[in-house]
Structure 1
Amino acid sequence: MNPQAKLICTISLLLGTTITLSSNHWVLAWTGLEINTLAILPLIAKPHHPRSIEAATKYFLTQAAASALILFSSMTNAWHTGQWDITQLTCPTSCLILTTAIAMKLGLVPFHFWFPEVLQGCSLTTGLLLSTVMKLPPITLLYMTSQSLNHTPMVIMAILSAALGGWMGLNQTQTRKILAFSSVSHLGWMSIILIYSPKLAMLNFYLYVLITAAVFLTLNSIKTLNLSTLMTTWAKTPALSAMLMLTLLSLAGLPPLTGFLPKWLIIQELTKQDMAPAAVIMALLSLLSLFFYLRLAYCATITLPPHTTNHMKQWHINKPINPLVATLVTMSIILLPISPTILTIV
């Protein structure tokens, strides 16, 4: 892609996200979401491959429908109450429509159908943007309207997302699809706690972004798109493969890694809110996603390919050196001991 075009897309992404995050009026928030959608489309379609074009088309249609629903929700609320403020969402119909629209934007079950296909059709760096940056504006809108939302649909969608995100990732061989279903599963954890403790949901989102960025950038460094390629990476970059294993286990939420912190706090908060059954269900469903994280970690570190001539001569290939990956991987692994400090800041 032309550097000028890439710069324009990046600036537009930052602008759209900033507008949505700082807006108090529904029309401004909607404008920011639209700028974001239009900025990411060229990045998705960049590889000039039929699958990329298909992914961009699916993304555009889904996001356009979700944006129309957000506008319809805000207009319905303004019609009933005369208010255009985001925090003044008091009409029950508007709340339900908005929940549906944001679920479509994020890729929550049952509106998750587009996300794995789109992620599979784009590059790893664009997939990272879709999994992290593009989820920030919708999550922020949910955060601002959390006091008005109906509990039941959110809890149902959260449990379904955790279940299907884990279940549908079990038989995947493409790393991008596995990470897409991982994202759906994590969104379930954020959604179930959002109404009871919005700050905890945002902490979960920040840590999810941190660990997912580490995984995506590590996979991008070792040029891995599927499990069969992942099996050969130990011969090239053993240290990076070992770090990838720890980062994946952190994404799974295993102690004593960083990813355990949000799951621990969410289960604790759900128990305080007399939602122990939901907490138990979410904890059990996380075992599904743990299986495919372990599968990825197993392929990255434990399976060694046959020592053919090609593999034995890979010691002189230039090793990928990326300080950003090193920083993100380190933070993804060792932040749990300073969790009291993190909670104080948040």
Structure 2
Amino acid sequence: EAATKYFIIQAAASSLILFSSIMNAWHTGTWNITQLSTYPSTITLTIALSMKLGLAPMHFWLPEVMQGTTLSSALIITTWQKLPPMSLLLMTTNHLPPLALLTMAIVSILVGGWSGLNQIQMRKIMAFSSIAHLGWMMAILTMSQKLAILTLLIYMMMTSSLFLIMISTSTKTFKDMSQLWTISPTLTTTCMLTLMSLGGLPPLIGFLPKWFILKELTNNHLILTAIIMAIFSLLSLMFYMRLTYTATLTISPNTTNSMMKWRFKPTNIT
């Protein structure tokens, strides 16, 4: 089911990209997608790339697809699969509508934070985290491409770290996160730092791109936008802190001699 949803969404987005190229070629006589000159083609391309990335309001497929896949596939979807659409956005950023990108950015930060508050599945939480972080990238894309790339790289690094911890410990839900300490205290500490970094708490590395983005928005006289984004990011910080609390501050006061979780991987008995 998840594979079918992913295929349909990606195929539809690819068709829209091709349709945008056809419209641009019809008006300009060139197939170069980096030289979009008509408003319909730029809007169509923006919608298509938003669908591929999972930006709000075209984000509905991302949490469901990630919940229906394995942790390894979810890691690929949230990191590696973001590179092709982001590359196209960076190539065409001079022709894309800034107001549309900024609006989608603010909506994505709001939706990513608000929708992640009530989730108990780790893959869905990471999906909404992806949506919120993509909002920060879109907000700065038309002003500073280097800063957008920096934000993407830091996001991919932190998300990969968290997913690798989840894969190595078979953590899929909040309940599993509360039992993470029984496997490895070191991984628990690393998980805590990664989550707080994703939330953007200083002095961790996740604070760096958000600080630079807010500073760049302020320099471009978008003070109200910067304030709104900073306020909406508190929603994301809330569920990151919930995860941090669950993973590190709900440790049982009793000592245990077992370093295994109370759930075993299924094994084939032959």
State if a TM-score over 0.5 links the two structures.
yes
Report the alpha carbon displacement of residue 235 of structure 1 after superposing the two structures with TM. Answer: 2.2
Partner of 2:77: 130
**Letter paired with 1:72:** F
Give 1:236 shift.
2.1
The residue identity in structure 2 corresponding to 1:233 is: L
Contact 1:157/1:188 (<8 A) preserved: yes
Relative contact order: is structure 1 or structure 2 higher (C-alpha 8 Å, sep ≥ 6)?
2
Partner of residue 100, structure 2: 153
Q: Report the identity percentage.
A: 53
Q: CA deviation at 1:312?
A: 2.5
1:136-285 to 2 correspondence within 5 Å?
Answer: 136-285=83-232
Picking from 277, 285, 303, the partner of 2:250 is: 303
Q: Which amino acid aligns with 1:258?
A: I
Which residue number in structure 2 is paired with residue 292 of structure 1? 239
**Aligned in 2, Cα 1:316/1:236: closer, same or farther, shift over 3 Å?**
closer
Partner secondary structure for residue 299 of structure 1: helix
Alignment partner, residue 40 of structure 1: none
* One-letter code aligned to 2:7: F
Q: For the structure 1 residues 220 and 316, does the alpha-carbon distance in structure 2 shift closer, same or farther, using more than 3 Å as the test?
A: closer
- Give the C-alpha shift of residue 170 in structure 1: 0.1
One-letter amino acid of the structure 1 residue matched with residue 130 of structure 2? S
The verdict on how the C-alpha distance between 1:115 and 1:316 changes in structure 2, with shifts beyond 3 A counting, is: closer
Name 1:107's counterpart in structure 2: 54
Distance 2:100 2:242 in 1: 32
**How much is the aligned-residue C-alpha RMSD, in angstroms?**
1.3
Structure 1 residue 196: deviation in Å?
1.1
Which sections of structure 1, spanning at least 5 residues, go unmatched? Answer: 1-53, 318-346
Gaps of 5+ in 2: 262-270
Output one character per residue of 1:296-315: Cα deviation in whole Å (capped at 9) or x when no partner. 111111112475xxx83423
Whether the 8 Å CA contact 1:232–1:305 is kept in 2: the answer is no
Counterparts of 1:150 and 1:228 in 2: how far apart (Å)? Answer: 43
After superposition, where does 1:43-122 map in structure 2 within 5 Å? 54-122=1-69
